[in-house]
Structure 1
């Protein structure tokens, strides 16, 4: 399969070809992959560009627990559907344990941590958070818990653990006993509270959980190398090979894939007509395999913005404009101007100009801004906006 067809195949498996139009948020995330969430707007654009889901509907789905942000693979937070909550949480348990082990080295006995977990559950079960909500932010929790939370002093600060509370919250969240919720209901704001949950644990062994993730991952990507699967899953080589075998995966052209996808890929043909999307730099199309460089056409691989060659960077410096899996330009949102700043490698076609206007209107009307992560701000991205404008 040539590189253009391979890009289009990945595009198709990600549902960016219109095949997921009209689907609900949970269904999109199950079929195309969990949306990476770091206090940015990626989950919203993930749903909008694949299925036309607007922010109001996405927020309603969060409130109804149809979708939710949880720590899972590699201990990273993703937005995923309700059917995946329990087994996906099991994948994030090791990261929570690692945080707890830091406290072991600071002479915090597990009995003390367990007692703090119990105290947190008691407070969340009987209290009401800010503005009468059912969630409490970390400061209010700390105030309510009093001496049950221990300060770890300078030694703790050096290890990234100033108090015992974050480790206890991490363990409780990994077990599904509490959940973290955005205080204003929006996924692109980095202010959270905690509420009691009581999610029933998945009735799967660790091996079965790894196999399920492998099945989902290969379905989301349409095929990935051994190294790519290890990067996303954080499985050991032995665990990866076992999960691939249990999933019945086959190797084709250096990619591991599900048998049904191997058959479908063989007869796949790239669409003849343009299919334009403006995606987040951390969209699943790139993040799952961390292979943004492979989405540039050969003639664009030497392009630079500033001093950096785009095709040599593991992660994109800006958000991509994409046609059937091929990156044809970059963009950022300029809230001051209420417009998308963009750099297109070639003159815009009618389809490109139309889609830019659609996404521009969506961001302006639904989101107000498009933040990549919790630290992103209009001022922090102004230099990138200026560079894109200058490159036009």
Structure 2
């Protein structure tokens, strides 16, 4: 009996020792979200801080993957449209149509916003309903009046494609394709869309002298210099909403939270689209929309959230009129005008202002092959 007890004790010791050596395999840490070749963005001098999340660093492979996804019609339910369908490069990545048309001819309510300098911005869409490009890039895919698709369908299409698994592996470390990685890749590509080389930039911002005169073209009527003064003084009062900082960098909006969303008196009635109020449910946001940049404004027509202003002449005419007093119109709309709120620009002032706005066109950006369709 004694020998039996000793035998049992010995067996227990052996078992305990054996189990102590069977340590569980260490859990594999989550694979890195980005493993490609670093491609840091160098911001133009004088521009605000960039918004690049730590878990989605810029890489050569991620940007190229995002570029392909941006132009790929596989993202839409019926394979007919891509992000680029409503954001065309030669129009500063805005839409040629008054409001965007989705799959099966569905008509949206709003004009597709121009896409550039997004890396400096914090809120997206006309109503600012999302706070990251990663999230923003996924919304049109599932929006029923845009691409009207589901992300599982998109993922399965990309998985079945001969090129995408290896592209995802190059960008993220393995061939897994999921919602998060799709959003991150498109966001990386969109962050590279920086426009900062217009005539205005070359003359005023890059020279370091915001008061440097434009070299006027004797064959072009109007004065760019005078247009700039109209824009940046109370004569036109454009600068209160489209600020020009000391380096001439911003030509906002979208960079200052105080001027992020405004009601510019475009309408008396916003019942069909209440703007930011639909997102915040705040009465003070009724009829407010994101203030767009005036960079590349020569090519980003039609204007306003509903595309209701067709060209530069009509745009200047609207601000010359001063907008409607709808009860929530920003006071700056009437600040520069007479007692009736109109600015009473002369014909020459209108021409001068138009000539200045044309100096904001960045042709290098509009034609940059890095942003073009990779499938062509």
- Larger Cα Rg: Structure 1 or Structure 2? 2
Q: Indicate whether the TM-score tops 0.5.
A: no
- Between Structure 1 and Structure 2, which shows a larger proportion of strand residues? 1
Give the TM-score normalised by the residue count of structure 2.
0.28
